[in-house]
Amino acid sequence: MEFVFSSLTYLLLFVLTAVLLFLIRDELKTKQVDHRAGLVDPPAPKAWPIIGHLYLMARYKVPYRVFDEIMADLGSVFRLDLGSVPCVVVNGLNNIREVLMIKGDHFDSRPSFRRFNQLFKGDKNNSLAFCDWSQLQKTRRELLRAHTFPNTTSNMYTRLDTCLKTELADLTDTLDTMANTECVDIKNMLLHTCANVFMSYFCSTRFSRSYDKFREFIRNFDDVFYEVNQGAPCDFLPSLMPLYHWHFKKIRSWSSKIRNFMETEIFNKRKAAWVPGTKPVDFVDNLLDAVTQPDRDDGFDMDIGLFSLEDIIGGHSAITNFIVKTLGFLVDRPDVQRRIQEESDAVVRASGSVGLSDRSQMPYTEAVVYESLRLIASPIVPHLANRDTSVDGVRIRKGTTVFLNNYSLHMSPELWNNPEHYSPERFINAEGRLEKPEYFIPFSGGKRSCMGYKLVQLLSFCTISTLLNKYTLLPVEDVSYAVPKGNLALPFVTFPFRLRPRNFRKQ
């Protein structure tokens, strides 16, 4: 009995000593100064052993809200140890610009989360958003640019406008058969619409709503999008990885099925018909042309090309989720719906339908898109310091994950009047034109800015204005339309709506 007691005593002493040393180390790290460089290490709140500061992130539904609390005590740049992952949170417009613009080449890498690697054959660098910066990434962005940022006078812009109008006409024809029903699953229908816009635009192919393989393809992409917008303990505590074995298997299954569909339904057919030297018409043509160029030294090949195609096609899920969230904001705001309808009615009287060229005549509708982006406050993809560097005189060590707190920029009462209130008018200036403040950065900035942000704006504008020109949105009884913030994704089964036809006629 005495031996057992002594062993437990020594074990307790060992654990207490380890905890004490951890706390001393944490205290020293918050006060360490490099007098030669004039840099100070980032301060940090008190951490717990093993989990570090993860306990702080559980205080709010939107974890980013805890950053404001810590910033009030420690300043605009501070450290958080999330499990085994060293992180720094950067707050304030000037500091965020330092990361994105001034020292963009210091922070152009991405953290490596094993969950995300599962989606890209075990390598995050196969993706567009989660890869480190490289010549290969530069090549992929340059190939995409003409398609994701089409010039208003280009054939690509006209092509996108045609694809949008075709798919939105198909959507409203389908919805007409369901109008005045008590519950319409708009998200499922919009997923198909947006996916076909992307397929038509990037791949010159569209699929029927009744095609089961395409429906499964859409569902797999939406599951992937939901996954990458959620945090998981295993991202920060590698020792938990064995518990995620079956979940990882499911993630790999989604990715494998997406790849199989793209190969069998799109890429293999186009590859077999491709004639080198042919002028490209769509993005698939551009990929085939790129991979057949001789003497490439950037690592771009057929496999990477397929990943690029899958990645950009997957953007349809992000846009659909954003549109459904916007409709969630609008369903209880008939005054905002009426303003959109007034703008769209004027356009439809003149031209018969709403198109991309009508954006300048519909500033309020564009402001609705901006206000939804602001209030959702979806976080910027974290960066990773690729060298020892600094922000605002605070040392950032190589390998540190960097969170940019755009949530605070978009929800700050010092920058916005009544920021919790949904008010598109805040983006309309005295002359009645759309105006975007410099502290509104929903798509990041610099060379790692979102490649699809223009498509988000264009598709959202056309879809919202077309739907509200045809229908008035009404809530379904006993359904809560509390739109989640700080995250762009919604569950596959989400807000239902009632649609009341407007009986609008051209005059």
Residue numbers belonging to the annotated binding site: 450
List phi, psi (to 5°) of 474. Answer: -130, 145
Helix axes 363-376, 334-351, angle to 10 degrees: 140
For the chain, how long is the longest CA-to-CA vector?
Answer: 97
Query: Taking the CA of residue 48 as centre, how many other CA atoms within 13 Å lie in the half-sphere pointing to its CB?
Result: 9
* Host H or E run for residue 250: helix 245-262
Other residues' Cβ atoms within 10 Å of the Cβ of residue 196: 23
d(CA 97, CA 107): 11
d(CA 483, CA 26): 38
**In the block, which residue shows the tokens 């969170």?**
403
List phi, psi (to 5°) of 269. Answer: -65, -45
Tokens of 65: 């809200």
d(CA 61, CA 64): 9
d(CA 37, CA 333): 54
Q: Contact at 8 Å (CB) between 486 and 377?
A: yes
Task: Report CA Rg, the chain.
Answer: 25
Residue set of the binding site for heme: 450
From 368, 447, 389, select the one nearest 95 (Cα to Cα). Answer: 389
Which residues lie closer than 8 Å to 232 by C-beta, 6 or more apart? 115, 244
